[in-house]
Amino acid sequence: MSTPIRLGTRRSALAQAQSGHVAAALEKVIGRSVELVPITSEGDTNRASLSLIGGQGIFATRLREALLAGGCDFLVHSLKDLPTKQPDGLVIAATPLREDARDVAVTRDGIPLHELIPGSRIGTGSPRRIAQVRIRAPHADVVDIRGNVDSRLQKVATGELDAVILAAAGLSRLGTDSPLRREELGLAEWPTAPGQGSLAVETRTDADPELLSALAALDDESTRLAITVERAVLEGLDAGCQAPMAAHAVVAGSSVRVRTVVYAADGAQRIGLDVTEDLNGEYIRRSGSGNGADAADGADPMHAARELGLNLARRLLDQGAADLVSREHSS
């Protein structure tokens, strides 16, 4: 019997659920068993506010250390938790098909956020979501919270909070069965974090070629194009993973539509862009991306996607985004 492939994962129920989905898919491709290797990240033990400790790999660093040390063969991350700088020796081998990228507001009785009475308590630990709540429900009180999905839902069920903001994809992957009511927050007015709803499958650059090939089979090209644009916006802003900013891209054929917003922490100001570009040639030619005719024929759409994101970040900065975010030089 062949040796199982070891998948390093955080210990949370959500992390293990999404890792389990990837494990099952890989087993079908490679014909070998995959076992989960639970690893405790700093984000699982440090209960301080995310707005204070930042997003500088707090959920990924220890997992990556274990991977580089040979403690596992590959990792599954929530892509939105990853810094944009890729460590030496590691590669994102696959980005599976993205799930629902929206946020949802969870309440006891289904009252929309903007209709909650003044003084209602809305829980979230994300600076981006805090700013968005202050725009959507300016008379509510925002409560900075941490904890797993079940503990957050329990705070609403018991009346400690009137609402919490969560990722739709996380609720879907957990299959949470709850009598609480959900309000889906549309991406046009409530764009989400770069990479939200996406998973990143990471391994060593010197991994077994059989494993690299099998992981590549899990990759979804449209998802990778979209998240490449989104993460390049974050990279260009140089603001860190917990910046009060959003970027969401949708790929349709050779074109990509990007909605990106940078928020003041109190929600009082925002700077945004909504653009559609053709990555199959027109944008490459116009922006000077790629190398000559081959790139102009669409040979390097991932490079063009990254250049588009970086260009959007420059435009945001030109419009004053640097005054709204704390540039951490840590992405």
pLDDT, tens only, 232-243: 999 999 865 567
For residue 56, the model assigns a pLDDT of 52
For residue 287, the model assigns a pLDDT of 64
For residue 294, the model assigns a pLDDT of 46
For residue 330, the model assigns a pLDDT of 39
Superfamily of domain 103-185: Periplasmic binding protein-like II (3.40.190.10)
pLDDT, tens only, 288-330: 555 444 444 445 889 999 999 999 999 999 999 988 876 543 3
Where b means 16+ CB within 10 Å and e means fewer, 186-205 reads ebeebbbbbbbbbbbbbbbe
Residue 9 host element (H or E): strand 5-10
For residue 279, the model assigns a pLDDT of 82
| Distances, alpha carbon 81 to alpha carbons 8, 101, 112, 236, 264, in Å | 15, 14, 28, 17, 21
Average pLDDT, the chain: 88
Q: pTM of the full predicted structure?
A: 0.88
Q: What order of strands is seen across the sheet that includes strand 121-123?
A: 141-143, 121-123, 163-167, 103-107, 181-185
- The contacts found for 205-210 with CB under 8 angstroms, 24 or more apart, are 205/89, 205/90, 205/91, 206/89, 207/73, 207/74, 207/93, 208/73, 210/30
Is the pLDDT confidence value at 282 over 90?
no
CA–CA dist 34, 288 (Å, integer): 43
Q: Where in the chain is the domain with CATH 3.40.190.10?
A: 1-96+198-219, 103-185
Strand partners, 104: 166, 184
Give the DSSP per-residue string, 217-255.
TT--HHHHHHHHHHHHHHHHHT--TTSSEEEEEEEETTE
For residue 296, the model assigns a pLDDT of 44
The 8-class DSSP code of residue 298 comes to T
Catalytic residues, by residue number, are 81
Top mean-pLDDT range of 30-39, 242-251, 291-300: 30-39
For residue 239, the model assigns a pLDDT of 66
Say which amino acid occupies 86: Q
The 8-class DSSP code of residue 119 comes to T
Tell me which architecture the domain covering 1-96+198-219 has in CATH: 3-Layer(aba) Sandwich (3.40)
For residue 46, the model assigns a pLDDT of 46
- pLDDT tier at 2 (50, 70, 90 boundaries)? confident
For residue 27, the model assigns a pLDDT of 97
Distance from CA of residue 246 to its chain's centroid? 10
For residue 136, the model assigns a pLDDT of 96
* CA geometry: angle 293, 294, 295, nearest 5 deg: 90
For residue 79, the model assigns a pLDDT of 93
Is the pLDDT confidence value at 283 over 80?
no
pLDDT, tens only, 91-119: 999 999 999 999 999 999 999 999 999 99
Residue 74 host element (H or E): strand 74-78
| Residues 98 and 121: beta-carbon distance below 8 Å | no
pLDDT, tens only, 157-182: 999 999 999 999 999 888 767 889 99
| More confident of the two residues 300 and 5 | 5
Is the pLDDT confidence value at 133 over 60?
yes
What is the percent of the chain with per-residue pLDDT over 70, rounded to a whole number? 85
Sign of the torsion formed by the C-alpha atoms of 167, 169, 226 and 229: positive
Distance from CA of residue 197 to its chain's centroid? 6
Distance from CA of residue 187 to its chain's centroid? 14
Residue 36: CB partners within 8 Å, gap ≥ 6?
A: 7, 9, 16, 19, 20, 23
For residue 214, the model assigns a pLDDT of 98
Superfamily of domain 221-331: Porphobilinogen deaminase, C-terminal domain (3.30.160.40)
The 8-class DSSP code of residue 114 comes to G
| Distances, alpha carbon 194 to alpha carbons 132, 199, 214, 246, 309, in Å | 15, 12, 26, 6, 11
Q: Where in the chain is the domain with CATH 3.30.160.40?
A: 221-331
